[in-house]
Amino acid sequence: MQAVAYIRVSTDEQAKEGYSVPAQKERLEAFAKSQGWTIIDYYMEEGQSAKDLNRPEMQRLIDDIKKGSMGIEVVLVYRLDRLTRSVLDLYKLLKLFDDNKVAFRSVTEVYDTTTAMGRLFITLVAALAQWERENLAERVRMGMAEMARQGRRPGTKEPYGYNYVDGSLIVNKTEAAIVKKIFDMYMRGYGLRTIVKWLNNPEHPVPSKTGRPWYENTVSYIITNPLYVGKFVWGRDPAEIKKHKTLFRAVAPEYIYDGSHEAILDNDTWEQAQFKLKKRKNMPPRLASSNYPLTGVLKCGLCGAGMCGSISTQKNKSGKRKVRWYKCGARDHALGCTMKYMRAETVEEKVLEYLSSITNSSDLHILADTSLRDKGNSKEQEEIASVNKEIKELTAKKKKWYDAFEVGVIGIDDLRERTKSIADKEVFLRERLSEIELVEEFSWTPEERFQMVKNINWAWDRATPEERKELIRELFEKISIFPTGEMEYEFI
């Protein structure tokens, strides 16, 4: 058989009898001769520790075995600890040897993978490696949990806006300015796609943390990340993260920790961004940033269906031009509505004319009328009371199951199953409660609404399509349009 000899000695072992490089080499050559084997190469390392596999000669040995060009059939060592002192590393090496049909032999011990006893040894080592892996993972989890309790974010990957300095998150001022710009653009009505285009603009590209282009998911990650208000998320089940498609939405309070790092944003800005994100999420597809600012609010006066955008090409003396229309969403159905197409520019101009007219007439009371607002607030208060009642009932039910477990009526598996179901419902209810409270907190006052309407023409001329849509949705609950062009308005 063609053998290779691996010889290692650490600095502390240099002077020990039998451990020197010449002594190991002599014993290995004598053993190979007694077996009729030929040593075709030596891998000798002096002053190297066996704590890991990052050793020059060890890496050369691994590469030679993987290549298979030398025809290595067996690896010889003086003792097992010459190869490695880690069970995990030993398992990796033995698996490498086995995958490449290379045997392993220690000349002073019974470790010989060319025999049935040796193969049993590999099985035992694999079991030990699994045990060590699990223990290591448990120790890592405990260490990370302790870090989280101390307000230190576990992990080594630097989030955008921060750098790790001596294990602590320190604000990167250049990146922090970009984080603030992203939030500012989002709050002004720009969609994720528009923000990404600005970040990737070839004339003034903004470098990402990785150097790769920006994507919508990257921007969404920043907007939803509580890290930027001095908090961090830790401890969630990876399956839950996958279920919600994103890391930070639908996060239960017990997974959010107060961090010791400096915040980049204030709480009000971040919470308003979350509120806006939820509003956009609830919009029908493509309405959040389309070129039809009235969609989602404009309704057919005949059937009540939503009016959607449509575009046609018309010919004239100067060539072809595209014309925008609003059409009833039920028009093309089997029992289609007979509502005709309405020119988008004409409809939008009528809305602006109406808003301009009420700022100069006695109709101003429409904007300042608090009766509808009070009615809305009353409904929200009722829902808050209802949600709080359900949460209280769930807490009582959870206590009942814990009491049943303590007296032995149910087992631990039943307890886990029942309390998990309760916990899932509680997370949903608390998220709903948070949404209602955000709606109350960030509702426009009559005075703010009045100022918005008073300056509507100035704002409309300067607004992006996203911002125009946001203005309409902040003012109107519904606008109904009829075939005659007559319109009815219902304010929020």
Catalytic residue among 10, 20, 421, 480: 10
Q: What was the pLDDT predicted at 360?
A: 56
The reply to whether domains 2-133 and 162-282 share a CATH topology is no
Q: What is the dihedral of CA 380, 383, 384, 386, to 10 degrees?
A: 160
Confidence (pLDDT) at 379: 60
* Entry field: residues in the chain: 492
Q: What does residue 161 show for φ and ψ, rounded to 5 degrees?
A: 105, -10
Strands 342-343 and 476-481: unpaired
Whole-number Cα distances in Å, 156 to 162, 166, 222, 450:
11, 11, 17, 49
260: annotated active-site residue: no
Question: What is 172-232 written as a DSSP string?
Answer: -HHHHHHHHHHHHHHHTT--HHHHHHHHT-TTSPPP-SSSSPP-HHHHHHHHH-GGGGTEE
What is residue 10's three-state secondary structure?
Answer: coil
Round to whole Å and give the CA distance between 365 and 369.
6
Q: Is 342 helix (H, G, I), strand (E, B) or coil?
A: strand
Q: Quick one: which of 327, 296, 282, 333 has its CA closest to 309? A: 327
Tell me what pLDDT residue 482 has: 95
For every one of its 492 residues, what pLDDT tens digit does the chain have, with 9 covering 90 and above? Answer: 899 999 988 766 554 555 688 888 999 999 999 999 999 999 999 888 777 888 999 999 999 999 988 999 999 998 877 888 777 788 788 889 889 999 888 888 766 666 777 667 766 765 665 676 667 666 666 666 666 666 666 665 788 999 988 878 889 999 999 999 999 888 877 778 888 888 998 888 898 888 889 988 889 889 988 889 888 776 655 555 555 444 555 565 666 778 888 899 998 888 888 877 776 655 544 444 468 889 889 999 998 888 888 888 888 777 788 889 999 988 876 557 889 999 999 999 999 988 888 765 445 555 544 444 444 455 667 777 887 888 888 888 888 887 887 777 787 777 777 777 777 777 767 766 665 555 444 455 566 666 677 777 777 887 777 778 877 887 888 999 999 999 999 887
Are 350 and 485 in contact by the 8 Å Cβ rule? The answer is yes
Class at the top of the CATH hierarchy for domain 2-133: alpha beta
Q: Confirm whether pTM is higher than 0.75.
A: no
Angle between helices 370-406 and 412-441 (to 10 degrees): 170
DSSP string, 22-69: HHHHHHHHHHHHHHT-EEEEEEEEES--SSSS--HHHHHHHHHHHH--
Instruction: Give the pLDDT confidence score for residue 107 in this predicted structure.
Output: 86
298 has which bridge partners? 479
Using an 8 Å Cβ cutoff, are 450 and 367 in contact? yes
Q: Are 309 and 290 in contact (CB under 8 A)?
A: yes
Secondary-structure breakdown of the chain: helix, strand, coil percentages, each rounded to the nearest 5: 50, 15, 30
Which pLDDT score is estimated for 73? Answer: 93
Q: What is the fold, at CATH topology level, of the domain defined by 162-282?
A: Hect, E3 ligase catalytic domain fold (3.90.1750)
Where along the chain do its domains lie? 2-133, 162-282, 345-491
CB 397 within 8 A of CB 424: no
Is residue 307 within 8 Å of residue 342, measured between CB atoms? yes
- The answer to whether the CB of 190 falls within 8 A of the CB of 466 is yes
452 close to 367: Cβ distance less than 8 angstroms: no
Instruction: Supply φ then ψ for residue 291, to 5 degrees.
Output: -90, 20
Per DSSP, the three-state class of 485 is: coil
| Nearest Cα residue to 59 out of 43, 37, 35, 39 | 43
Cα–Cα distance for residue pair 251/235, rounded to 1 Å = 10
